[in-house]
A and B are shown apart, each in its own frame.
Chain A
Amino acid sequence: EAQVTQNPRYLITVTGKKLTVTCSQNMNHEYMSWYRQDPGLGLRQIYYSMNVEVTDKGDVPEGYKVSRKEKRNFPLILESPSPNQTSLYFCASSFQLAGASEQFFGPGTRLTVL
């Protein structure tokens, strides 16, 4: 089944404790991205990647890191999480450029930072 998977789905952590949210897609998509969704603000892009070893900042990259060592994986790293990073996070992938094709989203990761 073609899909985007994220892990963990739910995470409660404390300020400053490094964490990684994994994202993997099995559709051989080149384009992958991370979003956060907050009430009243909608989905905002954190980082995106056009291909392996190519990443770039989205609208709200502060406090986040990403890597793209393999085509299928695009982990999101929070080196020192803070309470304002409490949010619902979605990973997405698409065949090529962001708008040229459908974005496939993972099921979401609900993160709470205490």
Chain B
Amino acid sequence: RKEVEQDPGPFNVPEGATVAFNCTYSNSASQSFFWYRQDCRKEPKLLMSVYSSGNEDGRFTAQLNRASQYISLLIRDSKLSDSATYLCVVLTGANNLFFGTGTRLTVIP
């Protein structure tokens, strides 16, 4: 079983739509969670960390559900510039950082 699993998509949504991605992780001892964004042929960049109480950054909201072992990312009022692949990242143990395969989002005009 993979450490981190994501629906690869693609998600094709119109501008202005709300879209949500989920990511599940297998190790209940995982302690830190992140969403990274990766544009085509570019390096990943941190979008936001995910805190236990949930957190928001502008149009982006991240949630953590430890009981069900999943994290989510909600994007409101989608922009064309949000088109990218979103990587779920989980830290397990001292230095074991696991990346999901990514969910591809395309925002359509």
CA distance A103 to B46 in the complex (A): 7
Q: Which of B36, B43, B95 contacts A106 (CB 8 A)?
A: B43
Place the interface of chain B in its size category. 20 to 34
Q: Please tell me if the beta carbons of A107 and B32 are within 8 angstroms of each other in the complex.
A: no
Which residues of chain B have C-beta atoms less than 8 A from A112's C-beta? none
Q: Please tell me if the beta carbons of A99 and B87 are within 8 angstroms of each other in the complex.
A: no
Residue with the highest number of chain A CB atoms closer than 10 Å, among B36, B94, B95: B95
Shortest CB distance B26–A (Å): 14
A40-B101, A42-B102 are known contacts. Are A48 and B95 too (CB-CB below 8 A)?
A: yes
Q: Please tell me if the beta carbons of B101 and A100 are within 8 angstroms of each other in the complex.
A: no
Which residues of chain B have C-beta atoms less than 8 A from A50's C-beta? 95
Interface flags for A78-114 (1: CB within 8 Å of B; 0: not) read 0000000000001000000111101101111000000
Q: Please, which residue of chain B has its CB at the minimum distance from the CB of A102?
A: B46
Interface flags for B23-48 (1: CB within 8 Å of A; 0: not) read 00000000110101000011111100
Q: Please, which residue of chain B has its CB at the minimum distance from the CB of A48?
A: B95
- Majority SS at the chain B contact face: strand
Asked if A45 is at the interface (CB within 8 A of a chain B CB), the reply is yes
Q: Please tell me if the beta carbons of A98 and B100 are within 8 angstroms of each other in the complex.
A: no
Asked if A56 is at the interface (CB within 8 A of a chain B CB), the reply is yes
Shortest CB distance A65–B (Å): 19
Asked if B13 is at the interface (CB within 8 A of a chain A CB), the reply is no
Which residues of chain A have C-beta atoms less than 8 A from B31's C-beta? 99
Query: Which residues of chain B in 82-108 are interfacial with respect to chain A, using CB atoms and an 8 Å cutoff?
Result: 87, 91, 94-97, 99-102
Q: Please tell me if the beta carbons of A98 and B97 are within 8 angstroms of each other in the complex.
A: yes
Binding site for A on B (CB under 8 A): 4, 8, 31-32, 34, 36, 41-46, 87, 91, 94-97, 99-102
Binding site for B on A (CB under 8 A): 31, 33, 35, 40-45, 48, 50, 56, 90, 97-100, 102-103, 105-108
Residue pairs across A and B with Cβ atoms less than 8 A apart, 20 shown, are A40-B101, A42-B100, A43-B87, A90-B44, A97-B95, A98-B91, A98-B95, A98-B96, A98-B97, A99-B31, A99-B34, A99-B95, A100-B32, A103-B44, A105-B43, A105-B44, A105-B45, A106-B43, A107-B43, A108-B41
